[in-house]
Amino acid sequence: MIKVLRIDFLPVMQDGLTLDKLYNKDINVLHKNILDTITEISGESFQVVGVESTNEIPVKEDGFQYTNDEYINVISGKVSSHSPDYASYKWIIDKFDLVNRKNKNEFDEVHLFGSPFLGFFGIRAKGRHGL
């Protein structure tokens, strides 16, 4: 059984709603569907051992970080997205203390959920066990 820590990045959008609420999306359902598909294909089973969320927008690899207003303008197509677009995984690892937590065997994998232009790769592994 693979232990999963899920981290949701939920920027605050218009009317004080986070993006998932604005578009009426249930991240729990989306994640379950993904895990069910991976289980069906690979035979691996998963247990979500924690879900954490933040309204922060991840810092990019070059140090840039959108404000909420800038991000709203990008997601709505009013302005172009920042380039390069990739999130700083080091920033995420440090912010959530993932190395220490992995060393304490809190989880085997980390799954990140976020909306477009937050800079996430489809899949990205770091180090020997995903960190």
Q: Is 69 inside any structural domain?
A: yes
Give the chain's domain count.
1
Residue 23 has pLDDT above 90, yes or no: no
Give CA–CA dist 57/37, Å, rounded.
28
Q: Is 59 inside any structural domain?
A: yes
Q: Is 49 inside any structural domain?
A: yes
pLDDT mean over 46-54: 96
Domain region containing 11? 2-113
Residue 31 has pLDDT above 80, yes or no: yes
Q: What is the pLDDT of residue 115?
A: 85
Q: Is 122 inside any structural domain?
A: no
Q: What is the pLDDT of residue 5?
A: 97
Give 76-131 pLDDT, tens digit per residue.
899 999 999 999 999 999 999 999 999 999 999 999 998 889 998 765 555 444 44
pLDDT mean over 35-50: 95
Q: What is the pLDDT of residue 128?
A: 45
Q: Is 120 inside any structural domain?
A: no
Q: Dihedral angle at the C-alpha atoms of 97, 98, 101, 102, nearest 10 degrees?
A: -160
Q: Which of 61, 54, 122 is nearest to 90 (CA)?
A: 61
Q: What is the pLDDT of residue 131?
A: 46
Q: What is the pLDDT of residue 130?
A: 47
Q: Is 127 inside any structural domain?
A: no
- Model-level pTM? 0.87
Give CA–CA dist 22/82, Å, rounded.
23
Q: Is 11 inside any structural domain?
A: yes
SS3 111: strand
Q: Is 123 inside any structural domain?
A: no
Q: What is the pLDDT of residue 20?
A: 86
